Amino acid sequence: MAFRGLVPDVISYNSLLNGYCKSLKIDEAMDLFNEITRKGLKHSVVTYSIMIQGLFQVGRCGDARKLFDEMHGKGQMPDQLTYGIILEGLCNNHQIEEALSLFHLMGDSKLNTDVVYTILIDVMISGFCGEGHVIDAKQLFLKMEESGCPPDKVTYNVLLQGYLRNKHFDDVDMLLHDMDERGYFLDVSTMSLLIDSIAAGSVDTTV
Q: How far is CA 26 from CA 2, 6, 21, 43, 92, in A?
A: 21, 25, 6, 17, 18
CA angle, residues 75, 80, 85, in degrees to nearest 5: 95
Q: How far apart are CA 66 and CA 103, in angstroms?
A: 17
Mean pLDDT, each 10-residue run in order, the chain (207 residues): 60 94 96 94 94 96 94 87 91 88 72 73 90 91 83 93 92 92 92 88 65
Amino acid 7: pLDDT: 58
Amino acid 14: pLDDT: 95
Q: Buried (b) or exposed (e) across 111-124, using 16+ Cβ within 10 A?
A: beeeebbbbbbbbb
Q: How far apart are CA 74 and CA 41, in angstroms?
A: 13
**Sequence ranges of the domains in the chain:** 152-207
CA dihedral sign of residues 190, 196, 200, 205: positive
Amino acid 5: pLDDT: 47
Q: Which string of DSSP letters, residue by residue, matches 151-197?
A: --HHHHHHHHHHHHHTT-HHHHHHHHHHHHHHT----HHHHHHHHHH
Amino acid 153: pLDDT: 92
Amino acid 109: pLDDT: 62
Amino acid 85: pLDDT: 93
DSSP tally for the chain: helices H, then strands E: 11, 0
Amino acid 111: pLDDT: 63
Q: How far apart are CA 157 and CA 149, in angstroms?
A: 16
Amino acid 16: pLDDT: 94
Amino acid 96: pLDDT: 86
Q: pTM of the prediction? A: 0.78
